[in-house]
Structure 1
Amino acid sequence: MIVEQLSLADFRNYTSADIALTAGTNLFVGRNGQGKTNLAEAIAYLATLGSHRVSADAPLVRAGADAAFVRARLAHGGRRVTLELQISKQGSNKARIGGSPVRTAELPRYAQVVLFAPEDLQIVRGDPSARRRFVDQLLVQRSPRMAAVLADYDRVLKQRGALLKSARARGIRGDALSTLDVWDDKLVALGAQIIDARAALTAVLTPPAITAYAQIAGADHRPELEWANSIRGFDPDEDAATAAAATAGSTEELFRAALGARRSAELDRGLTLVGPHRDDLLLRIRGLPVRGYASHGESWSVALALRLASAEMLRADSPIGDPVVILDDVFAELDADRRARLGDLVAGYEQVIVTAAVEADVPDALRGRTVRIEAGVIRSVEDD
């Protein structure tokens, strides 16, 4: 897949922008805060339906505007398709494919992107929500229908949480709260799909992650990926090591049993204590948790390995060609050896987009069309 043309209106600091991109490497250069990452963010949003920097859409809309607009012409071999997205500051977003209105959840069927960014360090060092977000965005790209499942689960979770809080405030307990069973059924049906999909994706992701880590770090530290599920006894409020052993049964059966076991505690606290929203992806190297034990360089190697493995997985699965690989200001974070290794590993993808404040940080393997950006304006385009 190749992004041939990108147009923005009222997106971040861009009043308007229109830029032609090429196959191979496209390098966005400019001082910090000028808008390089905003271009990369717009492309990635079409594929993941979210930003890698913020969890809400409102910051993506330029100050004073009600909505931002992203338009991209994509090439899948000899076929071309135009995606259009309206990101609303308030209300629902809208999308078009080839000029026809569609649900926004349809966009990832046509756009696949793997984005590396400094924020990726939070995948390995941050709280569990960062790891869940990483996996769920990849889930949406690999299986676009999961966007609707994740959105429906979040909606049911909020409604169930509101009922628990209301019951706690009114002193309602046990059998008197029969409506909770209805929300349990919906939560279990949706949550079990998410838990199973995450597990299946992680199984596929692990082998390329092991290979990528060795290529980046130059060492085999045996990286491991394993889900700690709250329906199997894992409690994110406690040490991961206290997670209980898996219990026999289907995911739906385990989920329903866990809800029953924790109902009293949920009513006391007014929130849902089990489900995929409470799970964590445990990352280890040399048999030890990356979080708390790995060095800075090792942590970066794990984060990069996860992104490279994602790209390799999408490349192997996708009917639309390679995903677009975006390296957003990552070279400033890496030593010279890791820069060169990463550059060599991604240079073979159909299209690579690199943002950098210092052009000299970019390895020779990733030299190509250079776009110079200043204060939300594209100043020049130079072909190497």
Structure 2
Amino acid sequence: MAESSKNIRYTDVAEELRLEIISGKFQPGDKFYSRSQIAARCGISEPTAVRVQNILAKYGYIRKVVGGGCYVNFVATPLAAALEMQQSEKISRIVEFRFGPGAKYEFPKRFYRELDSILEKNPFPYTLKIYTPAEVSNNTLSACGVEPGTGYLVVSQGALTMLYCGHILFNPTVHSVLVDSVVPGSDCVITDSFDGMEKIVDYVFSKGCGRFIFAKNFVKSLGDFYNEERAYGAVYHCRRRGKECIVVDSGSFGDLLKLIRSSKEKTAVIFPQDTEAVRLQQILEPNELKRLVITGFDDYVEFKKPSGSLTTITIDHRKIMETAVSLLREGSARRKRIVRVPGKLIVRN
């Protein structure tokens, strides 16, 4: 890799090495690259190489042995290989699935509205199926039976989505795209968190902040992927400007408030999603808010009224759905991939 380490994301390096693993280059149990080998090979620092190893271990491609290095844990079975390639015929219709407690909230509805508009202008058979926990029964899986010639669009609403859509997302004979989340072996379309955090950091710098805090793990429903990626983006872009970003990863407002109140310097408090950013606004006293710049991410409609002053990143729902439909309609025998769609900075304070 020719790029300097400053321009390389650890997630990109992890993806490159993941593809190398699934290609069959390694056998299960083979010794994997050490952190120094990854650093030298990919032009990154050793701490970043450790993060690469961690993400590969997290998703089961390697296992880490304390004091013994890393070993390949991936078995390149025909199924695993097939999951990396689209093997189905071209689709003739689209079925969208939504599962989870938030399946009927405004956030996923915005995806639906954009998809409906896209398909209205370019007519294509389409069915929407929504299931909340109260509606999920023993018959749900049979209701989601895989049908030939169908492309499945899965809008993620947490672990329940993965549980009930696993037979679709991990089926090598089916076209499927997961929206707003990532699982190995599936096409995924997500918001570009790295780009979004660059916009957030540039904004808080423009507001004269001299101290920077990222509130990690405060939004449990966000999942590890977005928490990690957005934390990394905030830290990286602060360092790019010569500043350190303090990451509070306990998920405790007590810890966060203690850190905020430990200095009178103008401080940016960056959240990976709007919900808990709004909560912090409500907790703090007016005089404390004056020296803080609090930002969110995802632009949740549900929180616009109480958070009228919250600067955030709004997701480009239309571009995401256009990309998802494009992936579904592409021909067979295409390698699965993750597509990141940039969001837009919405300044409200």
Same fold (TM over 0.5): no
More strand by share: 1
TM-score by length of 1: 0.25
More helix by share: 1
Q: Identify which of structures 1 and 2 has the higher relative contact order when contacts are C-alpha pairs closer than 8 Å and 6+ apart.
A: 1
TM-score by length of 2: 0.27
